Structure 1
Amino acid sequence: MDLLLEDGESCRTWRLRSVPLPNGPSLKATPLPSHRLIWLERTSAAVSGGRGWGRRIVGGTFQGVLPDNPRALIRVELRGTAALRFPDPLILELADSQCRLHSSADHRPTPSP
């Protein structure tokens, strides 16, 4: 599955093996090239180059700032996750090629290195 976050004229994108569970273990997040914004509007479509079919699992919004440095910690608040029967909002953290979701009530800041 691909995780997309709108960033100006494109989407920052990561490949995850599955949807992370709130307050569950971190999942490997492999950075991918930016995706076009049109993928935020589609519910399903053919992927270019005959690579299969893409389908949106859930859409929503996020609040927070994406750092300019693609390797910097990303911490944003996600809204719209209730469709997955997850708490809403959730905190999404991406750092060191890992992705994690926290319920906002249980969120504890990640220690600084």
Structure 2
Amino acid sequence: MNRWVLLEHKILSSKFIDIHYDFLVEDQLDCLTWKFHEIPSLNKGVIKIVKQPNHRLVWLSRVEYQLSKNRGLVKRIDHGIFSNIPHNQDSQKLKIILNGKLLNGLFIIDGNFCQLTKNN
């Protein structure tokens, strides 16, 4: 169905606060998943992104969820349907068009970097 979601993941402890974002893209049986520490802005250059283990499809529909074992709170901050850009798709290189409120445009992942550009 080509769904995607951007999740804010907050881990709060007495020693530190970690806030990062998880970007999930539906891929048949599960979701391709990446992590980054800042949200890409339209035409603002590349940011670092790190591939994570694939996540379950249930994360595409959760709005907010408290993780077990003190692993933090996950909250959906953007989501939508994506369109593929024809080329060889894999987890190292991905080009999709996003229609979200925060992520809207051509989203490109190339290795450990991503960028959001205007969709022509």
Deviation per CA, 1:32-88, whole angstroms, max 9, x where unpaired? 001111111011002243301100110111011672x422x2111111x2x33x6x4
RMSD over aligned Cα, in angstroms?
1.7
Q: Which has the higher contact order (CA 8 A, sep 6+)?
A: 2
**1:7-86 to 2 correspondences below 5 Å:** 7-64=27-84, 67=89, 69-71=90-92, 73-79=93-99, 81=100, 83-84=101-102
Q: How many residues align?
A: 98
Query: What percent of counterpart residues are identical?
Result: 29
> Which amino acid counterpart does residue 91 of structure 2 have in structure 1?
P
Give the alignment's TM-score, normalised by structure 1: 0.78
In structure 2, the gaps of 5 or more residues are 1-20
Which one has the bigger strand percentage?
2
Report the counterpart of residue 6 of structure 1 in structure 2.
26
Which one has the bigger helix percentage?
1
Q: Secondary structure at the match of 1:11?
A: strand
> Which amino acid counterpart does residue 70 of structure 1 have in structure 2?
S
Q: Secondary structure at the match of 1:57?
A: strand
Report the counterpart of residue 91 of structure 1 in structure 2.
106
Q: 1:49/1:33 Cα in 2 relative to 1: closer, same or farther (>3 Å)?
A: farther
Give the alignment's TM-score, normalised by structure 2: 0.74
Q: After TM superposition, which residue ranges in structure 1, 4 or more long, deviate above 3 angstroms?
A: none
